[in-house]
Structure formats: C-alpha cells, structure tokens
C-alpha cells in the first residue's frame, strides 16, 4: 500500500487474490498458447533490462498492478519500482525498472502497459476534476459506470487521482432510483421498506430530479439525497432546504466546465461517470535500459 497523504491510504480497493486471478486472465487473453514472436526470436536464456517511463505529465495509478503482471507471469523477473500509485510525475520520469528473462519481459509488456496507461489515465483525469473544485468543500466521487471486469482497478485509480469511491457494487448501499420508487408507490414507502430491513450501518440514498421530491426524501428520513440533473439554482435551493439534515450528491452530465459552479452550490458530493467511462489513456513506454547497471 502507498499513500499520498497520511490521512489518505491507497490500495484498499485491491483484493490481492482477485488481482492475481484477473492478471492471469489478462495474460492468458493476450498470450494464448505462447508468444510466438518472442519464442522464435529470443533465446530462452537471454536476459534484458528495461525501464518503464512516463511520456507525458500524469497522475499515476496501476504501477503495482503492472509490476505484478511481470512477476505473475515469470517469478524470475525482477521489478524495482521508481514511482508509486497516487504520485504526480513529469514526462520522462521512470516508473519501474524490469530485469530478467528477455523473452518473458517482452511477452508481458503489452498487458502491463495497457493496464497502467488506462488506470493512470483515469487518475490523471480525476485529478483535473479534483483541482477544479478545490476549496469548495464538495468531494468528487465515482460511479458504477466502469468497464466490466475492471471495477476494482478503475475505482482504485479514481482514489489515486484524489477522488472518492461511491458504491463498489450493488451490495454496498441502498440507492432508490425512479423505478424502485415507482414499484413501491412513493418515496416514503420505498424508504420505509428499505429502512425496515437494512443493515444498521448502511445508508439509504434517494434519487430526486425535482425539489418536491427532495422534500419527500428528507421527510422520509433519507441519509443521502441525489440531485439528478438539477440546474445549479435548484441545487442551491435544495441545499438551503435540507440545511445539513441529509447529505446531498449532485449527479448527471457533470463536466470539467460545469463542476465548479455545481460545487459552489453547497452540495457534499459530486458524482462523475466520465472519470471511468471516458478517461483517455496516457502515454507510457517500456524501453531498453541503457544506463549502467549498478
């Protein structure tokens, strides 16, 4: 586990057993039976030294996972980390040094790079959103709009970028959306039914897209109220009405250009699906390490 601040641990999202299973599946997908090119072109006893570098400024995530991909495939590969998840690095910064059987290293190269480029892209974009709302008191959170199979890693990447995680899965909390409420008949009935059976430490969140629904959710005893696609003026009204009696989350269509105004409305959380849905991969490469060994 690495940290960026003493009060912000990183890595708790990464279940080591699940990570190991996922890495093996990723490698199997890419390699198939064997790496035909490396097997034909590189002697089994050939060794090599390589360095993974950032090719642009970025916020890091996936360093640990990428390093583990190498050693998971071949324990003879030695990886020395030069940076950690959560760090900001400049173009040209070394992220890790990889040494050992050249055939194995080149076989794993693409899987390791795919992982770290994608996850660091999420962390980098998350960091940009966090900077936009600095000083407002609002906190940036992610959503369940993640790539199937990569949620654990993508939510870890959001944390590396300075964001916070919303539900990791449907079992993490109760969120009553419009269809749940329609089936139950009303917000009051939905909250009452959930509250009667809820584990005692679990929160209930209610999605609202109108101010009258905010009043209903507050009266029903919701712990968190989501303001879904509300304009900032209505968000400010909701903040005034709720007056701290429930947490407020703004959601829906949030962009870098709009998040500051939303944060200044006084909401507690702002959820952004784009963090994991639309983050572009960053540029990271693995090159031969020509520096003197030492």
Q: What is the 3-state secondary structure (H, E, C) of 47-81?
A: EEEEEEEECCCEECCCHHHHHHHHHHHCCCCEEEE
pLDDT of residue 294: 61
Question: Could you report the per-residue pLDDT of 194-230, keeping only the tens digit for each?
Answer: 999 999 999 999 999 999 999 999 999 999 999 999 9
pLDDT of residue 249: 98
Question: Could you report the per-residue pLDDT of 134-151, keeping only the tens digit for each?
Answer: 999 999 999 999 999 999
Question: Could you report the per-residue pLDDT of 100-136, keeping only the tens digit for each?
Answer: 999 999 999 999 999 999 999 999 999 999 999 999 9
- Which residues belong to the active site? 110, 145, 177, 207, 228
**What fold does the segment set 134-277 form as a domain?**
TIM Barrel (3.20.20)
Mean pLDDT of 8-33: 89
Mean pLDDT of 254-269: 97
CATH class of 3-130+280-288: alpha beta
So where are the chain's domains?
3-130+280-288, 134-277
């Amino acid at each position: 586990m690495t940290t960026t601040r003493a009060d912000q641990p990183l890595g708790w999202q990464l279940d080591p057993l699940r990570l190991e299973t996922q890495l093996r599946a990723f490698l199997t997908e890419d390699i198939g039976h064997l790496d035909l090119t490396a097997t034909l072109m590189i002697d089994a006893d050939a060794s090599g030294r390589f360095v993974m570098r950032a090719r642009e400024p970025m916020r890091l995530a996936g360093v640990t996972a990428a390093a583990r991909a190498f050693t998971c495939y071949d324990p003879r590969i030695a990886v020395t980390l030069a940076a950690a998840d959560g760090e900001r690095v400049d173009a040209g910064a070394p992220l890790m040094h990889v040494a050992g059987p050249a055939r194995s290293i080149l076989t794993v190269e693409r899987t390791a790079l795919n992982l770290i480029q994608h996850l660091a892209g999420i962390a980098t974009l998350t960091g940009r959103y966090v900077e936009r709302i600095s000083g407002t008191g609002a906190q940036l959170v992610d959503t369940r709009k993640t790539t199937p199979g990569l949620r654990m890693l993508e939510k870890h990447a959001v944390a590396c970028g300075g964001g916070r995680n919303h539900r990791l899965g449907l079992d993490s909390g109760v969120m009553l959306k419009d269809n749940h409420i329609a089936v139950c008949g009303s917000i009051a009935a939905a909250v009452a039914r959930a509250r009667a059976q809820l584990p005692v430490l679990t929160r209930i969140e209610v999605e609202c897209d109108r101010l009258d629904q905010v009043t209903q959710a507050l009266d029903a005893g919701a712990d968190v109220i989501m303001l879904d696609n509300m304009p900032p003026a209505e968000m400010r009204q909701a903040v005034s009405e709720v007056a701290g009696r429930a947490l407020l989350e703004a959601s829906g269509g949030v962009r870098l250009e709009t998040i500051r105004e939303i944060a200044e409305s006084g909401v507690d959380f702002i959820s952004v699906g784009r963090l994991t849905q639309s983050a572009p991969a960053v540029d990271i490469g693995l090159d031969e390490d020509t520096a003197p060994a030492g």
